[in-house]
C-alpha cells in the first residue's frame, strides 16, 4: 500500500476481485479492482479500471470506472469522462464531464415534493390566478 492508499478507510486494488460482500464503510473507499455486493460508504471513488456492481449507497461519489445496478447518493455525484454508470441512479447533485455515460433510471431529490406534484402545484397556482372561467379565447368572446 502506498502513502496515497492510506488516505482511504477501504481500498480494493486493481488485481482484486471481491464478490458477495456487504460492506459499511464510515469514510472513503477507493475501488480500482472489482467489487460485487452491497456497499454503504460515506465517499466512494471508483478508479479508471474499477468496477462496482450491486446496491451502492452513500453521500458522495467520484466515478472514473464502472458502476452497475443501484447507486443512491444524498450528496454530489461526479462522473469523469471515462465513467460509466448503468442502473438506478439517485443523487443530490451531479457533475459530469464530456464523455461520461449514464444509462437507466436517473433521478434527483427535488425537495419534499416530487417533480410531478411540483409541476401540478405550479399549474394549479397559475390557473387559479387566471380566474375561474378564464380559458384561451373565452375573455374575447365575453367582451363582445
Residue 21 pLDDT grade (very low, low, confident, very high; cuts 50, 70, 90): confident
Res. 127: pLDDT tops 60 = no
Q: How far is CA 132 from CA 25, 120, 129, 138, 141, in A?
A: 56, 17, 8, 11, 15
For cell 443501484, name the residue: 70
For cell 502513502, name the residue: 3
Q: Within a 13 Å sphere around the CA of 50, how many CA atoms are in the beta-carbon half?
A: 23
Cell of 89: 441512479
Please report the pLDDT score of residue 125 as a whole number. 60
Of the candidates 20, 14, 21, the one whose C-alpha atom is nearest the C-alpha of residue 41 is 21
Coil, strand, or helix at residue 29? Answer: strand
Res. 52: pLDDT tops 60 = yes
Any idea of the CA torsion for 120, 86, 75, 109, to the nearest 10 degrees?
10
Measured CA to CA, the distance from residue 118 to residue 96 in angstroms comes to 26
The residue-averaged pLDDT of 38-50 equals: 97
Amino acid at each position: 500500500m502506498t502513502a496515497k492508499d492510506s488516505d482511504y478507510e477501504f481500498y480494493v486494488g486493481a488485481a482484486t476481485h471481491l464478490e458477495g460482500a456487504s460492506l459499511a464503510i464510515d469514510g472513503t473507499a477507493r475501488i480500482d479492482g472489482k467489487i460485487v455486493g452491497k456497499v454503504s460508504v460515506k465517499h466512494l471513488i471508483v478508479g479508471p479500471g474499477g468496477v462496482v456492481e450491486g446496491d451502492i449507497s452513500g453521500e458522495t461519489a467520484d466515478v472514473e470506472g464502472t458502476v452497475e445496478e443501484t447507486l443512491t447518493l444524498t450528496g454530489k455525484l461526479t462522473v469523469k469522462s471515462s465513467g460509466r454508470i448503468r442502473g438506478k441512479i439517485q443523487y443530490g447533485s451531479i457533475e459530469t464531464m464530456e464523455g461520461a455515460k449514464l444509462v437507466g433510471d436517473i433521478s434527483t431529490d427535488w425537495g419534499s415534493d416530487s417533480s410531478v406534484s411540483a409541476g401540478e402545484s405550479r399549474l394549479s397556482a397559475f390557473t387559479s390566478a387566471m380566474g375561474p372561467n378564464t380559458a384561451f379565447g373565452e375573455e374575447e368572446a365575453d367582451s363582445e
